[in-house]
Amino acid sequence: MTASMVMDPHPSVLHMDEKVHKGVELVMDHRYRNIPVVDDNGRYQGVFGVNCLLRMVLPKAVLVERGLTTVPFVADTLHDLYVRLKAVEDEPITYCMSYDASVVAPDTPLVETLLILYRTRTSVPVVDPESGLLVGMISYWDVYGKILEQQI
Amino acid sequence: MHHSANTMTVFGWDPIWFAGVLFILTYLIILSDRINRAIVALMSASLMIVGGVLTQEAALRGVDFNTLGLLTGMMVIVAITRRTGVFQFLAVWSAKKVNADPWGILVTLVLVTAILSAILDNVTTVLLIAPVTLLIADALRITPYPFLFAEIFASNVGGAATLIGDPPNIMIGSAVDLSFNDFLFNLGPPALIILLVILIPFYLIWGRKLNANPEDRQRVLNYNEREAITDPRLLWQSFFVLTLVLIGFIAGHNHGLMPASVAMSGAALLLLLDNLPRKADDQSRSVHATFAEVEWVTIFFFLGLFIIVHGVESTGLLTMFADHILQWTGGDTLITAMAILWGSAIASALVDNIPFVAASIPLIKSMAATFGGPEGLMPLWWSLALGSCLGGNGSLIGASANVIVAGFAERSGHPISFLGFMLGAFPLMLLSILISSIYIYLRYLS
């Protein structure tokens, strides 16, 4: 058993030239954790997901590596967060996408795939290692659906 | 001259040549930044012993355990204290005290940074103040550059004021047996003058242009600084121990209590207070986490450096070099003090000031006979301390605090360029050295 057997071969995707608001709509409408981002040729580039959504509305200073570990004194309101989101919603999707998300190959063994899924706690793109093409996406639900099917 | 060196090193090389070449190579590799400085120092220290310049016993005699103990003890105290959130509290509290006015915030953050750098260490201070500064500048929607620039200056100037503020002072104080009070009374006044004078160019360059709209200022005023205190009990314990440690630094010297003993006693007491309520397992984890925050790279770097410098010193090479300097200055105290002050400032702006000071200490010590004994060297020690601490302001790589602030600035999307910083900072550093020169002349040499 390999990753290709539990993946969704037709996932929603975002393109590099699409705007942040498009990504926000997709995530919110479908409750996606991660949406793969591809170039014009369908080659995998990275992911846009719930982490990006949070990152865009948090003050930049709290996200700086080795920076503040807690900020209980900050009293920003929902409106402040909305203002931050509006300020970047017309930026290209590349503004906030992650380039270093974990991926698996179509022939990654099933248990290895599950372990990556378990450790990353999000959906995992399936990428052909030779062509770099996105060939699918694996979510908890895809995998668990396949597992439960075995009962029948 | 301490001729503890063997007469011949491996392969029959002359010890002076062997130690001299090793010393220069070590400093060049440290300068190149290609290999971690602790590794370089430990490798070279090992070669000093394996190569036959020093025996193991002689090498250990060269290690200044007072400096290492003081550094380690203070690092432990700071590692525990920082968990209380007091640094964030002070930064937010000071910003609100000036009604979130940008220029007022710059001035108060300069003062907070300078004071904390003087009583703790400047690296930790900027490590904790710079992120809050970025947060405040973000809320005010203004560039953080003037604040970060000013904090770099404040940390190095504040650090210059006390024995424990900056590693060069710790090394000089330990080598010459100078007390906390000696540093405070001799370097505190120029540090305060420089801090106040430097605010004038800051105001002329940035102060008049720093504006924020009322809505954004209100966002900062809405911060609740009391929420920053994450552990009030630990805060009071830390405050209690820090007060004891400061009293120990101030009063202990007259009773034969060395700074390392004071810092280590404080560290032990704070560790005890922090861990007493915990279960055994939790204590192990907590103590391990605290010790993990000690900058072991710095400690081992110092360890290796002391051995390397002792190795070179033992061959008599540094005494020969000191004789050349004295020939050049004619043995005149004023010329020698100014040469040390300006030379160490320029050098510290361009290279790490710790190895520079480590090599300078035995060099200056060997000049004692020319200047009428150890007392005659005092203007030279203050010149070295001021030059090496303040010189760090001259460039982005001049001091560890600068590098840390630059790192934060870059990661937050507001990079500070090396040249841009130097164009502003180097002249201001020279101004601080000019003030120091006048101070040294008026107080010790006129």
Under 8 Å between Cβ of B162 and B169: yes
pLDDT value at residue B3:
46
* pLDDT score of B322 more than 90: no
Closest CA to B44 of B14, B68, B19, B10: B19
Mutation choice for B interface testing from A66, A73, A78, A91 by most B CBs within 10 A:
A73
What's the ipTM?
A: 0.76
**Average of per-residue pLDDT across B231-240:** 95
Under 8 Å between Cβ of B311 and B53: yes
Please tell me the distance from the alpha carbon of residue B313 to that of residue B321, in angstroms, as a whole number: 10
B154-158, B294-298, B359-363, range with greatest mean pLDDT: B154-158
pLDDT confidence bin for A112, thresholds 50/70/90: very high
List all residues 6 or more positions away from B434 whose beta carbon is below 8 Å from its beta carbon.
Answer: none
Percentage of chain A surpassing pLDDT 70? 99
**Average of per-residue pLDDT across B317-346:** 89
**Average of per-residue pLDDT across A85-104:** 92
pLDDT confidence bin for B199, thresholds 50/70/90: very high
**Average of per-residue pLDDT across B107-133:** 90
Question: Which residue in A61, A70, A76 is closest to B134 by CB distance?
Answer: A61
pLDDT in tens, A37-50: 999 999 999 999 99
* pLDDT score of B160 more than 50: yes
Under 8 Å between Cβ of A16 and A92: yes
pLDDT confidence bin for A62, thresholds 50/70/90: confident
**Average of per-residue pLDDT across B193-205:** 96
pLDDT confidence bin for B1, thresholds 50/70/90: very low
pLDDT value at residue B7:
52
B408 with A64: Cβ contact below 8 A: yes
pLDDT value at residue B9:
62
A75 with B224: Cβ contact below 8 A: yes
* pLDDT score of B6 more than 70: no
Question: Which residue in B88, B92, B131 is closest to A64 by CB distance?
Answer: B131
- Residues B234-273 as b or e (16 or more Cβ within 10 Å = b): bbebbeebbeebbebbeebbeeeebbbbbbbbbbebbbeb
- Domains belonging to chain A, first-starting first, are 3-149 (3.10.580.10)
B88 with A73: Cβ contact below 8 A: yes
Q: Where are the domains of chain B?
A: 10-62+86-228+295-445
Q: List the single residue in B with minimal CA-CA distance to A75.
A: B223
B131 with A67: Cβ contact below 8 A: yes
Please tell me the distance from the alpha carbon of residue B286 to that of residue B292, in angstroms, as a whole number: 10
B135 with A62: Cβ contact below 8 A: yes
